[in-house]
Each structure stands twice: as structure tokens, then as C-alpha cells.
Structure 1
Amino acid sequence: MPFETLKPQVETIVFNTNKTANERLLSICKLLETHIEYYNWVGFYFKNGDKEELLLGPYVGEPTDHTVIPFGKGICGQVAVSNENFVVPDVSAQDNYIACSITVKAEIVVPLFVNGENIGQIDIDSNMPDPFTEADERFLEFVCAQISKIL
């Protein structure tokens, strides 16, 4: 499903005040994982208070042991420090990569800002090599901007 057709669905989920923020985040994970064939794991990590670490939030996909990620460690930990998108076309070529599953071939992480502060990120794994484009980045930036309204 093209990104443009998913945007209104993301907005509908975000503005559904009958659900908690975590329920809405999980709904967004399900929407993306279901409608974008190369999104095989979709989840959120959030800064753990004043600690220099990320905690796993709502996600869909294979269970992961990586529920706490120190800043700087792995792709998510690097985004927590850099405040920039990180697209990994081939995870096997990344030195500082935390393997969640042997089936994962690529990863994209986009930071989530609230009032200019990086409070977390959306993390997506793909079982396909090099599937992510600039269109994915722009779409995920849109998703994060929408989510920032409820956090």
C-alpha cells in the first residue's frame, strides 16, 4: 500500500482519544507491518527517564531480547545520540549492529522528537536486503511527527 494512502490511517489512529497512547502506538505498528510487505518488525524505543538508555515500547514482530539498549549501542542507540535517521541496507556490514534475528537483512530507525527533544524512535527491520528508500524516511518522519502530538 502506498505511503500516501497510509497517512490518513495513521492520523485516524493518532487522534483516537478512546485509546491510550500505547494502544495507539501498537495500532500504528500493526498498520505498518500489515500494509508494507518489507516491514517485518515494527516497534518503538523510548528514552528511559534521565538514563542514557532506551526501553522497548509497543511493537509487532518476532519477540526480542533487546528490551533495554544503551545509548550508542546498535542502530537504535546510535540514533539516540545522533538525532538523525539511520538507514542500514545490509546489517551484516554494520560493526555496531545488535542482531535481533538471523532473518533480518536491513533496518531503518527514525528519531521521534517532542518539543525538539529526541524522546525515542521508530525502529523497523526487514527480511529483505536494501528495501528502504528516501520515501520510507519521509513517511516515517511523518509518522513520528503525528505520534509526537500524543506523547
Structure 2
Amino acid sequence: MTFDSLKPQVTRILSDTSGSVDDRLTQVCELLRSNIAYYDWVGFYFKNGDKEELKLRSYAGDPTDHTIIPFGKGICGQVAVSNENFVVPDVKAQDNYIACSIHVKAEIVIPLFVNHENIGQIDIDSHTADPFSPEDEEFLQFVNRQVAEIL
């Protein structure tokens, strides 16, 4: 399924106010994981109140022990500080990588902004080496803009 065909589905899920925000975020995670072959784990992390850490809010894929990530630690923690997209073609080449699964070979993390403030991120783990393209970044930025509208 192409990113263009997923966009209206993302918008539809997020605009359906009959479900809670967390339910809608989980549905988006499940949609992406089930329709993009190399998206093996999809999750949303958000700033945990006033703490300098991220808290896992919604995800699709195997359970993870990494429900809290300090700012600066791992790829997600680095994005919380840098406010920039981070594409990791090979997680073994990253010194500051937090291993969630022995099967993960690549990761992409895109910050989520509300009123120009980085309040969270979408995190994708892949069991495929170097699968992410600029199109993935553009699509995930679209997803985050849609999510920002319901927060």
C-alpha cells in the first residue's frame, strides 16, 4: 500500500472522535504496521509531564521494556533534544542506540510538534536493513501533523 493511499485512512482514524485519543493513536500505529511491510514496530512517545523523559503512549508490535526514555538517551531521546528527524539505516552503527529487540536493524524517529514545541515523536523499528527513504520521512511528518491537530 502506498503512502498516498494511507493518508486518508490516517486522517479518518484521527478525526473519529468516538474513540479516545489513545485509541486513535493505537489505530494509526496498527494501520502503519499492518500496511507497510518494513514497519515492524510503530509507537508514539510523548514528553512525560515536566520530566526530561519520554513516555510510551501508544504502539503496535511486540511489547517493549522501554516505556520511559530519558532525554538524550537512544535515538528517541536524541530526537527529544535535537528536534530533528533521525534516520538510522543500521542500528549497530549507533553508539547511543537502545536495543528493543535483537531483530531491529533500522529505526526512524520523527518529532511531533504542537505550537512549534516538540512534545513527542513517532518511532518506527524495522527488521529490514536500511529501508527508510525521504518518502518515509515526508509521510511520517504528515502523520505527526495530523496527530498534532487532535492533541
Tell me if both proteins adopt one fold, taking TM over 0.5 as the criterion: yes
- Structure 1: gaps of 5 or more residues: none
Counterpart residue number, 1:36:
36
**3-state SS of the aligned residue for 2:122?**
strand
RMSD (CA atoms)? 0.4
Output the TM-score relative to the length of structure 1: 0.99
Q: What is the CA deviation profile of residues 54-113 of structure 1, one whole-angstrom value per residue up to 9, with x for unaligned ones? A: 001110111111010000000000000000000000000000000000000000000000
Q: What is the CA deviation profile of residues 29-71 of structure 1, one whole-angstrom value per residue up to 9, with x for unaligned ones? A: 0000000000000001000111100001110111111010000
**3-state SS of the aligned residue for 2:28?**
helix
User: Which residue type is aligned with residue 86 of structure 1?
Assistant: F
Give, in whole Å, the separation in 1 of the partners of 2:64 and 2:15: 29
- Structure 2: gaps of 5 or more residues: none
Establish whether residue 7 from structure 1 lines up as the match of residue 7 from structure 2: yes
Query: Within 5 A, what are the aligned runs for 1:1-151?
Result: 1-151=1-151
User: Which residue type is aligned with residue 72 of structure 2?
Assistant: G
User: Which residue type is aligned with residue 62 of structure 1?
Assistant: D
User: Which residue type is aligned with residue 139 of structure 2?
Assistant: F
Give, in whole Å, the separation in 1 of the partners of 2:62 and 2:19: 24
Give, in whole Å, the separation in 2 of the partners of 1:114 and 1:23: 20
User: Which residue type is aligned with residue 7 of structure 1?
Assistant: K
Comparing 57-66 with 132-141, greater Cα deviation is found at 57-66
Runs of 4+ deviating beyond 6 Å: none
Give, in whole Å, the separation in 1 of the partners of 2:17 and 2:110: 25
Percentage of matched positions with identical amino acids = 70
Give, in whole Å, the separation in 1 of the partners of 2:114 and 2:38: 28
**3-state SS of the aligned residue for 2:11?**
helix
Give, in whole Å, the separation in 2 of the partners of 1:103 and 1:59: 17
Q: What is the CA deviation profile of residues 16-35 of structure 1, one whole-angstrom value per residue up to 9, with x for unaligned ones? A: 01011000000000000000
Number of equivalenced pairs: 151
User: Which residue type is aligned with residue 135 of structure 2?
Assistant: A
Shift of residue 7, structure 1, vs aligned partner: 0.3
